Amino acid sequence: MDTYEAIYSRRSIRDFEDKEIDIEIVKRIINAGIRAPTNNHMREWEFIIIDKESRLDVIKKVSKNNKESDAIRIIDNWGLSDGLQRDTYIDAIPKQHKMLLTSACLIIPCFRNQGSLLKPKNLSALNSFASIWCCIENMLIAASSEGIYGVTRIPFDKEITHIREMLDIPEDYEFPCYLALGYPSKDEKPIPQHFFQAEDKMHYNKW
Ligand SMILES: Cc1cc2nc3c(=O)[nH]c(=O)nc-3n(C[C@H](O)[C@H](O)[C@H](O)COP(=O)(O)O)c2cc1C
């Protein structure tokens, strides 16, 4: 698939078909991730693949009881008023547990981090965090070129503590998100997003 086609077709999927991803495809996707730019030339990234048997334990701190009414309460609390943005959250929030459980491949991408991730001294102190997200985006684009889509979820603190312990993640490594990948369910319906063109975002010489 052409690169632009892979980029344009990438989108977040939270409803998956019950179909495995061949491990050679998973390796191709991770290899694409590893080609991403990195701050310190070391690509200090590791990828923990969680099999179906371990899933429930790994994601046990992710709330599975969120209903549409909970999602509405949460986004009302956040003060969101944009209709499309609200619709996305109303669709996404109740699916957080299920999407991780039912995705064909659940990956915990890890990156080496020195210093305090949550109290960086300057922008450069966030370089390792920025690099892993370049890696993750490469993986999502490579996946879309394979007809595979997915979604990232940012873990809450209680999830991080549990997963670090359970997966033996070394102290100097962090994980920025869960990465759930799979083939989209046939019933899956895209939620409309705001659409922008370059012209909407470009500035010449001045903002
Ligand atoms: C940094 C980041 C954090 C995200 N966190 C979550 C999340 O916690 N749960 C979730 O379902 N989607 C999450 N997403 C996916 C976004 O909701 C999604 O990318 C957005 O709605 C745009 O839709 P698209 O990916 O289909 O273009 C995250 C995406 C990014 C880039």
The pTM of the full predicted model, rounded to 2 decimals, is: 0.96
The pLDDT value given to residue 27: 98
The pLDDT value given to residue 18: 96
- Angstrom distances, CA of residue 139 to CA of 90, 145, 147: 26, 10, 12
The pLDDT value given to residue 150: 94
The pLDDT value given to residue 126: 96
| 47 Cα to the center of ligand 1, angstroms | 19
Q: Is the CB of 152 under 6 A from ligand 1?
A: yes
The pLDDT value given to residue 104: 98
Say if residue 1's pLDDT is above 80. no
Mean pLDDT of the chain: 96
pLDDT per residue as tens digits for the range 84-128: 999 999 999 999 999 999 999 999 999 999 889 999 999 999 999
Q: Is the CB of 11 under 6 A from ligand 1?
A: yes
Q: Is the CB of 113 under 6 A from ligand 1?
A: no
pLDDT per residue as tens digits for the range 178-199: 999 999 999 998 899 999 999 9
| 125 Cα to the center of ligand 1, angstroms | 24
Whole-angstrom distance between the N-terminal and C-terminal Cα of the chain?
35
Contacts of 145 (CB under 8 A, 6+ apart): 1, 5, 6
Domains of the chain: 3-201 (3.40.109.10)
Q: Is the CB of 193 under 6 A from ligand 1?
A: yes
| 73 Cα to the center of ligand 1, angstroms | 19
pLDDT band of 73, cuts 50, 70, 90: very high
Structure tokens at 185: 């369910």
pLDDT per residue as tens digits for the range 4-34: 999 999 999 999 999 999 999 999 999 999 9
Q: What percent of the chain has pLDDT over 70?
A: 100
Q: CA-CA distance, 56 to 61, in Å (whole number)?
A: 9
Q: Is the CB of 85 under 6 A from ligand 1?
A: no
- What are the DSSP E strand ranges found in the chain? 45-50, 105-112, 149-153, 173-174, 178-182
The pLDDT value given to residue 202: 98
Residues 61-86: what's their mean pLDDT? 95
The pLDDT value given to residue 60: 96
CB 114 within 8 A of CB 128: yes
CB 176 within 8 A of CB 132: yes
pLDDT band of 66, cuts 50, 70, 90: confident
The pLDDT value given to residue 111: 98
Contacts of 184 (CB under 8 A, 6+ apart): 13, 15, 16, 17, 149
Q: Nearest residue CA, atom 27 of ligand 1?
A: 11
The pLDDT value given to residue 65: 79
Q: What percent of the chain has pLDDT over 90?
A: 95
Q: Is 62 left (phi over 0), alpha (psi -120 to 50) or beta?
A: beta
